[in-house]
Structure 1
Amino acid sequence: MQSLDHLPYLVIAALTLGLAPFVPEPHIWEKLKMLAAGTLVRPIDMFDLALHAAPWVLLGAKLARMAVKAG
């Protein structure tokens, strides 16, 4: 978990890699809508969701770790 402390660019990664491509809508949003609709069935789509969600998950873990350390 200490490796999260050494990742200062997670916000930039989440906003760029996590949302790219931006047009016509963020890719992760499209994949989340597919997941909610039950149409996320192809392995490539599952991998794509994991790839675009990874920066957001790491950012959330880092923010949670910072909150625990502060409190």
Structure 2
Amino acid sequence: MPTALRLFDRLPLWLFALIVATVGLWPWQPEPAIAGLVRDLLAGELAGVAGWGGLLLHGLPWLLMALRLARQSRNGA
């Protein structure tokens, strides 16, 4: 596991930003998909495999970016 975390820490931050800007926000019209999914989740209306799968697909890049930034700030780099 430490080897995987070292590899994760060595990945450039721009790569995470690119993934968030594409997969995390796609489709952009009429609004980013993640915004609608989070709104549905907070309203208690997120249901079905499509809803939860969409949240996982569009939310995972945001979580990875947050983890990468947290590890970077913790390591002082």
The alignment of Structure 1 onto Structure 2 pairs a total of residues equal to 71
TM-score (norm 2): 0.85
Deviation at 1:2, TM superposition (A): 1.8
Matched, 1:3 2:7: yes
Matched, 1:16 2:22: yes
Alignment of 1:32-43 (within 5 A): 32-43=38-49
Q: CA RMSD in A?
A: 1.3
SS in 2 for 1:21: coil
Deviations 1:1-42, CA, capped at 9 Å, x for gaps: 223223320011011110000000000000001001111011
Q: What does residue 55 of structure 2 align with?
A: 49
Compare the two structures and name the one with the higher helix fraction. 2
SS in 2 for 1:24: coil
Q: Which consecutive unaligned segments of at least 5 residues does structure 1 have?
A: none
Q: What does residue 70 of structure 1 align with?
A: 76
User: After TM superposition, where is structure 1 displaced by more than 3 Å over at least 4 residues in a row?
Assistant: none
* Residue type of the alignment partner of 1:6: R
Q: Which consecutive unaligned segments of at least 5 residues does structure 2 have?
A: none
TM-score (norm 1): 0.91
